[in-house]
């Protein structure tokens, strides 16, 4: 668990010294990349007094990419991440298309869209149930919240008829890492969704068939048959997964009052869009507002719950990279 240091007496006003407990989690596991969280917690006031995050790896992409052939960019930037590298490669290809003034053939755009859609499916499964899901498994709940485990054993799962797990405890047991049945089933699904990805983009996580101006994938009847047969297995699986998650998370809200506060903060959402519409997108900066809004997931910025913009030009112009605490 967390690294806990002895309570530290900090003198503020003579009448109210705050007792701060240092708690650190470094490394955070079940993520991709390096992250450590360091906090000082006032348990009496039930407040986090201080919190810092740190990443303990520096690689230097912006430095070693200088002077290299720009056509190689997406092959290189893909390596920024080992679970979502293909998204980096796709964005790099979009940027290259704009820079070189090229528009891929429509079929190429559809192939990239299908590949990235498969990536969303793979990533959802492996992240939600093999990485995050472990936080809700029997082993974790028993260790951290035995009272909740006891409740879970008696709680009937409202959608048991659909997903097959009679009680919430059964769902939790099925999420145990490696031994859990649902953990293993979802891992298997993450494999055939990666097969779908590989059909379109060659290999995972760093694609081989993406190029500026198009793809190297050969579109055949077999290619799309192989894709749709796997897609339908995934659709069937999701019919079970959605009610299973509903049952599990609804139970947590009910069993742990206040749990709905976890993650509650100012609503700040940013999205620069996904999945180009080849009939609209010509990779021209002049028309970016229009083709941005034609993306199948549209771009947008939400601040404090208000939609501020859906204009990709505006979003792009307002991005800032804050270098204060970095190597640069």
Site string for another protein, 102-131 (x = CB under 8 A): ---x-xx-----------------x---xx
- Which listed residue (10, 47, 191, 233) binds another protein by CB under 8 A? 191
Judged by CB under 8 A, which stretch of 147-155, 201-209, 242-250, 277-285 contacts another protein? 201-209
Q: Alpha-carbon dihedral of residues 35, 118, 314, 210, nearest 10 degrees?
A: 100
- Which listed residue (42, 75, 95, 314) binds another protein by CB under 8 A? 75
Query: Quick check: 21 binds another protein (CB under 8 A)?
Result: no
| Minimum CB distance to another protein, residue 278 (Å) | 14
Cβ atoms of 96 and 73 closer than 8 Å: yes
Q: Which of residues 124-183 bind another protein (CB under 8 A)?
A: 126, 130-131, 134, 139-140, 177-179
Q: How far is CA 64 from CA 33, 76, 82, 321, in A?
A: 20, 10, 19, 18
| Minimum CB distance to another protein, residue 86 (Å) | 11
- The two beta strands, 8-10 and 3-4, are unpaired
Query: Quick check: 97 binds another protein (CB under 8 A)?
Result: no
Judged by CB under 8 A, which stretch of 81-89, 161-169, 242-250, 310-318 contacts another protein? 81-89
| Minimum CB distance to another protein, residue 309 (Å) | 32
Q: Which of residues 280-309 bind another protein (CB under 8 A)?
A: none
Question: What are the E-state strand segments in 121-259?
Answer: 210-211, 214-215
Structure tokens at 74: 């997406």
Site string for another protein, 31-70 (x = CB under 8 A): xxxx-x-------------------xxxxx--xx-xxxx-
| Minimum CB distance to another protein, residue 300 (Å) | 28
Size, binding site for another protein by CB under 8 A: 78
4 versus 280: smaller Cβ distance to another protein: 4
Task: Count the neighbouring beta carbons within 10 Å of the beta carbon of residue 144.
Answer: 11
Residue by residue, DSSP assigns 169-234 as HHHHHHTSTTTSHHHHHHHHHHHHHHHHHHHHHSSSSS-SSEETTEE-----HHHHHHHHHHHHHH
- Which listed residue (141, 170, 194, 312) binds another protein by CB under 8 A? 194
Query: Quick check: 95 binds another protein (CB under 8 A)?
Result: no
Q: How far is CA 308 from CA 28, 266, 312, in A?
A: 33, 14, 12
- The alpha carbon of residue 199 and the mean position of all alpha carbons in its chain are separated, in whole angstroms, by 22
Structure tokens at 34: 């390096």
């Amino acid at each position: 668990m967390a690294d806990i240091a002895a309570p530290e007496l900090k003198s503020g006003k003579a009448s109210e010294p705050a007792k701060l407990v240092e708690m650190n989690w470094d490394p955070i596991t079940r993520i991709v990349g390096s992250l450590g969280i360091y906090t000082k917690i006032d348990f009496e006031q039930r407040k986090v007094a201080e919190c810092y995050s740190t990443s303990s790896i520096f690689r230097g992409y912006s430095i070693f990419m200088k002077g290299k052939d720009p056509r190689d960019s997406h092959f290189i930037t893909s390596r920024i991440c080992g679970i979502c590298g293909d998204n980096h490669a796709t964005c790099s290809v979009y940027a290259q298309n704009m820079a070189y003034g090229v528009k891929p053939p429509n079929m190429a755009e559809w192939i990239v869209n299908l590949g990235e859609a498969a990536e969303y499916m793979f990533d959802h499964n492996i992240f939600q149930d093999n990485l995050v899901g472990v936080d809700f498994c029997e082993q974790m709940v028993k260790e951290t919240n035995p009272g909740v485990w006891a409740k879970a054993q008696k709680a009937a799962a409202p959608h048991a008829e659909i997903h097959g797990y009679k009680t919430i405890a059964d769902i939790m047991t099925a999420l145990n890492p490696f031994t859990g049945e649902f953990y293993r089933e979802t891992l298997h699904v993450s494999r055939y969704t990666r097969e779908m990805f590989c059909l379109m983009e060659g290999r995972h996580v760093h694609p081989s068939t993406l190029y500026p101006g198009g793809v190297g994938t050969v579109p055949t009847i077999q290619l799309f048959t192989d894709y749709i047969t796997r897609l339908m297995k995934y659709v069937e699986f999701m019919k079970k997964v959605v009610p299973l998650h509903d049952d599990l998370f609804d139970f947590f809200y009910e069993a742990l009052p206040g749990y709905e506060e976890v993650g509650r903060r100012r609503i700040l959402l940013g999205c620069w869009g996904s999945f180009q519409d080849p009939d609209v997108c010509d990779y021209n900066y002049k028309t970016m507002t229009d083709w941005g809004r034609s993306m199948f997931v549209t771009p947008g910025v939400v601040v404090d719950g208000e939609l501020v913009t859906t204009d990709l030009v505006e979003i792009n112009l307002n991005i800032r990279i804050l270098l204060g605490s970095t190597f640069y």
